[in-house]
Amino acid sequence: MINMADFIMIIHFLWVLFMILGLPLGLWLRSPTLRWVHFMGMSVTALFAVLGIYCPLTMWEENFRWGADRSFNLEGGFLSHYISSLLYLDIEPWILRGAAILWGTLTALAMAAVRPGRGK
């Protein structure tokens, strides 16, 4: 059975995938709804990065893991091992913040350059 920490990790992983793939997918599909939802989500993500705020999903996941097991580590089961290695890259935090800000800026520029709702 999946525990709450793993459930939040899956949601977090899907969020990150959407933040990365939402821009090109929205442009390719020409979906105004997809583009606006991605834009709003990327705006929040970039704002967290600018303000240096940790993602709430990360904090919730860690709280659930610590609450369930005081010997918490991310090397546990399948989800913890494989998804966490993709989700929590071993790089400097400023690189992730910079990438979020850059991708947020590109998303905003794409919204201005190719306005949602305009078809062929």
Compute the chain's Rg from CA coordinates: 16
- pLDDT over 90 (residue 24): yes
Alpha carbons within 13 angstroms on the beta-carbon side of residue 116 total 17
- pLDDT over 90 (residue 25): yes
Q: What is the mean pLDDT of residues 70-79?
A: 52
Q: What local confidence, expressed as pLDDT, does residue 17 receive? A: 93
How far apart (Å, rounded) are the C-alpha atoms in residues 120 and 37? 21
How far apart (Å, rounded) are the C-alpha atoms in residues 83 and 78? 8
For tokens 């970039």, the residue is 46
How far apart (Å, rounded) are the C-alpha atoms in residues 57 and 10? 10
Residue 1: pLDDT band (50, 70, 90) is low
